[in-house]
A and B are shown apart, each in its own frame.
Chain A
């Protein structure tokens, strides 16, 4: 409990009044003392009428796991006599973001906690504050908590079937594709029906069977795909609620699942200032479980990425032509030089897809909404950064490296779409 703003205001006002009465009107001290005694009595009455904090109880419940970037609900139930609307504050570790609600009247509520990082995050206390009956005091109740939630890489698109739906055209039996010439693997013969592409008719077999049959093909399977994840300090940049690294891990896991569904062999490599873990490509769903388990423990490094060391080390591990999906970032065209150089070397033997995340806030800055010349100056500065970044990506594309530069929200669908495109064009 502590004195409220109202009590402090009354006391300050009374002090000013007392000084005026004592000095200006030369009143007796007893008159002033009576005024102060009245305030003291009022405060005592207020204390008697107010529900003390010790009579309130709390039960709290929290799901043990949650996906990074998503919310988990902290279920709170308050027991005890009714009180005035209260403010709630949660003490927790830095990997969580909790709301700071004021004026809560419900006795049972769910506080949405956003998981900002992968790993275990503890919640240690909850404090509630409500005003006393007359508003002269703030009553503060504190309950120690021993709750924790583990932030896992976000596999929500996988669990919800979104990836499966998106990858459907590549799956068995879905031979109709928008691009000519994709799917070189022969799958089966089917009776030709009007509406089918006439070029799919197998004339030799049609002649033998004395009816029109068409060839059904499907995309080639068993390609080797390696996800290459940069864990350097630039990947710690927070875009929205999550860091670049977390966005990259989520997209990488979605791609892994898509690759598993499409029958490809998935591998994983991480690098920062030094080469990190190397998980050799493996077929089947086991590879997904392996990559997910490993990426859940990945931490961002505070040092700058050594692209030369990382990519050279990866190139030494690859024995056959591979689709290498590089998740990385650069701060300017000068620091991107080594990245470009090493990707160019890898490009001679492998297919490279360079994935970078665009900062939506930077895009917002380039289109000033507020009037005035300072936002225009900021827009020019932001556009220069943006243009410089675009120049590097253009250069990569000219060198034959596929680039995907998108916002965090669009990353997963765009990456899967690009993967399907690569498969359909048989670029690997």
Chain B
């Protein structure tokens, strides 16, 4: 009974964990899309307008070939910087330049430029202060391979215009300068000297469209005037056929699938195919391998001698490990000169204690004592010891050579020339 309860509790906990994970992920993903600068409302508007719309989401799998137009709203002002910590006021959702490019290559794409900072959502105030500065667009255009395009904003608070048979309106309307477009781009939807949508050609000759003002399609803009009608008209114009699919793709991850149905080749399988593995000379080779395998298994099955017990965690082992770890840390600091200096100092102190008694390890008295035994070697030893104690940064090989000489001189001075 207890086991059943425990199992049920564990299953419940796991289920709860997955549910919470799903909910939190969904909330995280939906936070931006449900905001005033998000595009949740666009799905309903386009569906009402009779367009076929699919939204990219985990678990969906839309074939690339079925997509008529991909809408790609950008919330990232630096496509080369994918660090999660950069997500904030200006960049609200990361997407990389290569992801944008691969999406562009897959299907005709309408890129929707960002316009508002997150502060606009938080404060609920659309003002020049909460808009992204125009000079920040230049790097983004370079990353989108539309460098040379110039963008501007209408100083009038609300600009109203009629397009696609509907009256549209936008606050601080954002447009491209249609008079100064680079060769790769041309105005698709032009009003006077300004273009709302431009059509550009990418590095791989793919055609994509860029919408200057996201307020035409976002939750906030769709509620203004008859922007919904204008937006639907624009998208209908971009579609080759009205029944084509509009694919709202808001994430970096690609949820589309590649339709490779034509590549599949079916082969007829028969039992004879299996027997081909045993036809000469393969049959003989399998048999010999089986004999060899049997011999190895036979040898492995008969153990000689008892199994050795693993070394348990004894205190002496932990002390050795502690010393080895500390030694490794000392080496990792890279201060080999200081390490050797420390070693030599403590070594000389020990020599002095051996000579004069514990607690009387005065190194200064040691060298005269050694000099009485062998003046030349003692002087050499003293010089080397003092050199090492200076802790001058040296290559490891040089230090090692000097240490070898130090030990050699020490042996001679302690045990005589024959040492």
Contacts and interface: CB of A to CB of B under 8 A. Distances in A.
Interface size class of A (residues with CB under 8 A): 35 or more
B281 A29 contact: yes
A236 B315 contact: yes
B324 A378 contact: yes
B258 interface: no
B327 A378 contact: yes
Given A8-B296, A11-B291, A372-B400, A236 B328 contact: no
A427 interface: no
Contacts, number: 127
A7 B295 contact: yes
B280 interface: yes
Interface in A209-251: 233-234, 236-239
Interface in A22-40: 22-23, 29, 32-33, 36
A60 to B, nearest CB: 16
Contacts of A2: 298-299, 301-302, 304
Given A7-B295, A234-B315, A373 B339 contact: yes
Interface stretch (A62-70, A86-94, A175-183): A86-94
Contact of B339 (A36, A359, A376): A376
Given A22-B285, A381-B326, A237 B343 contact: no
Interface stretch (A12-20, A73-81, A290-298): A12-20
Given A36-B288, A236-B315, A359-B316, A140 B331 contact: no
A244 to B, nearest CB: 9
A1 interface: yes
A371 interface: yes
Nearest to A140: B304
Contact of B404 (A12, A89, A359, A371): A371
Interface in A187-220: none
A89 B399 CA distance: 47
Contacts of A387: 346
Nearest to A100: B305
A99 interface: no
B315 A377 contact: no
A45 to B, nearest CB: 17
Interface in B318-357: 319-320, 322-324, 326-328, 330-331, 336, 339-340, 342-343, 346
A377 B331 contact: yes
Interface in A103-120: none
Nearest to B401: A371
Contacts of A377: 326-328, 330-331, 339
Contacts of A3: 295, 298-299
Nearest to B396: A373
Interface in A386-408: 387, 394
B284 interface: yes
B295 A89 contact: no
A380 B304 contact: no
B306 interface: yes
B292 interface: yes
A11 B295 contact: yes
Interface in A365-389: 365, 371-374, 376-385, 387
A8 B404 CA distance: 48
Contact of B314 (A1, A12, A32, A237): A237
Contacts of B342: 380
Given A237-B319, A380-B343, A15 B292 contact: yes
B414 to A, nearest CB: 12
A61 interface: no
A127 B305 contact: yes
A33 B346 CA distance: 73
Nearest to B300: A2
B9 interface: no
Interface centre among A2, A7, A233, A371 (most CB of B within 10 A): A2
Given A238-B314, A359-B316, A373 B400 contact: yes
Interface string B277-317: 00011001100110110011011011011100100001110
A359 B314 CA distance: 14
A36 B294 CA distance: 14
B288 A18 contact: yes
B296 A374 contact: no
A12 B327 CA distance: 46
Given A91-B306, A129-B304, A233-B315, A18 B284 contact: yes
Interface string B375-414: 0000000000000000000001001100110000000000
A264 interface: no
Interface string A125-143: 1010100000000101000
A103 to B, nearest CB: 14
B399 A15 contact: no
Interface centre among B280, B285, B291, B315 (most CB of A within 10 A): B315
The 5 A-B pairs of least Cβ separation, nearest first, read: A89-B305, A22-B281, A381-B326, A2-B302, A377-B327
5 contacts: A8-B295, A15-B288, A239-B316, A376-B343, A385-B322
Interface of A: 1-3, 7-8, 11-12, 14-15, 18-19, 22-23, 29, 32-33, 36, 87, 89-92, 94, 100, 125, 127, 129, 138, 140, 233-234, 236-239, 331, 359, 361-362, 365, 371-374, 376-385, 387, 394
Given A8-B292, A236-B315, A384-B326, 16 more contacts: A3-B295, A8-B295, A8-B299, A11-B295, A15-B289, A18-B284, A18-B288, A87-B304, A94-B309, A127-B305, A238-B314, A371-B403, A373-B396, A373-B403, A380-B346, A381-B330
